[in-house]
Amino acid sequence: MTQGKSPRLFYSYVVLAAAFTIMLVMVGLFFSFGIFFKPMLSDFNWDRAMLSGAFSLAFIVYGSLGIVAGRLTDRLGPRIVLTTFGSLFGLGLLLMSRVNAIWQVYLFYGVLVGVGMGGNFVPLVTTISRWFVKRSGLIMGIAVSGMGAGILAMPPIANLFIATYEWRTSFIIVGVITLVAVISAAQFLRRDPSQMGQMSYGLGEIRAESSNLQAEGFSLGQAIHTRQFWTFGALLFCNLFVLQTALVHVAPHAIELEISATNAATIVAFIKPLTFLLAAI
């Protein structure tokens, strides 16, 4: 195929679908941890703070690895990065079915699952940005909506598994789902369109319409010296700190209020998508 021609099936949409699928599965299952709280606490003599600490550790590891995952994506490509990190995520879930001590939860979920999540967001959004230069905001919104779709779908599914098979078997099931879905979807990811003999979507039109314009932007070194960078970072930290701290406790608290486990899972499923909607409004 000659580079620059528009094929019947533009591979950009394949990359978009793969990114959406990966975000849906990994983010959705990551935020389903609260659904496992009550069954696990019933089997072990732990308090809620001990168990929620593993989720906090996973979130810290997840956030800390974004820069590392981005650099690895630049060097190795998204297919290898998502296959590797997705495998660690799935392995962490599988090992959660074998826990008998709290330190194992911190290792398997806090570390392994946290590391797996660290290779999710940054590699995917940077890859999509290389494949789409036209309507990039819309396309990025579609891709990131996979996170909301996952949080909407996965907690009720996890609750259904727990009600049917108990929590240990449920961790095995969601671990297998992760390994199959994420690794399969990752094989369709490519670093940039040149690897498929294509151009970024809309690049030809952008060149024709703005041949005399020159793109401008900030390097990381320049950005960190701006007030806007730190203001946005502080707002994002406050938003995530408040929301994520409470989210993992919603399901067990609802159950303690004598709300059924099914309805508690539904409440968890709707909270974060609603925050996205309110933010958009």
For 156-206, what is each residue's pLDDT tens digit? 899 899 999 999 999 999 999 999 999 999 999 988 777 666 666 555 555
Q: Which amino acid is at 235?
A: L
| Bridge partners for 132 per DSSP | 201
Output the pLDDT for position 164.
94
**Is 201 strand, coil or helix?**
strand
Which phi and psi (to 5°) does residue 166 adopt? Answer: 75, 165
Tens digits of per-residue pLDDT, 71-99? 899 899 999 999 999 999 999 999 999 99
Which phi and psi (to 5°) does residue 201 adopt? Answer: -60, 125
Tens digits of per-residue pLDDT, 215-245? 555 666 777 888 887 887 787 777 666 666 6
Question: What's 11-200+222-280's CATH class?
Answer: mainly alpha
Residue 16 has pLDDT above 50, yes or no: yes
**Is 132 strand, coil or helix?**
strand
Question: Is-contact 210 43, C-beta < 8 A?
Answer: no
pLDDT band at 275 (very low <50, low <70, confident <90, very high): low
Domain ranges of the chain: 11-200+222-280
Listed in sequence order, the DSSP H helices in the chain are 11-30, 37-43, 48-64, 66-76, 78-96, 102-105, 114-118, 121-131, 136-165, 167-186, 203-209, 220-223, 227-256, 261-280
Tens digits of per-residue pLDDT, 185-194? 999 998 877 7
Taking alpha carbons only, the member of 24, 38, 33 closest to residue 155 is 33
Question: Is-contact 93 161, C-beta < 8 A?
Answer: no
Give all strands (DSSP E) within 56-212, no chain letters.
Answer: none
Tens digits of per-residue pLDDT, 146-155? 888 888 889 8
Tens digits of per-residue pLDDT, 103-126? 999 999 999 999 999 999 889 988
Q: Structure tokens of 35?
A: 């659904």
Output the pLDDT for position 280.
45
Question: Is-contact 113 30, C-beta < 8 A?
Answer: yes
Output the pLDDT for position 239.
67
Q: Structure tokens of 3?
A: 């580079």
- Provide the whole-model pTM: 0.81
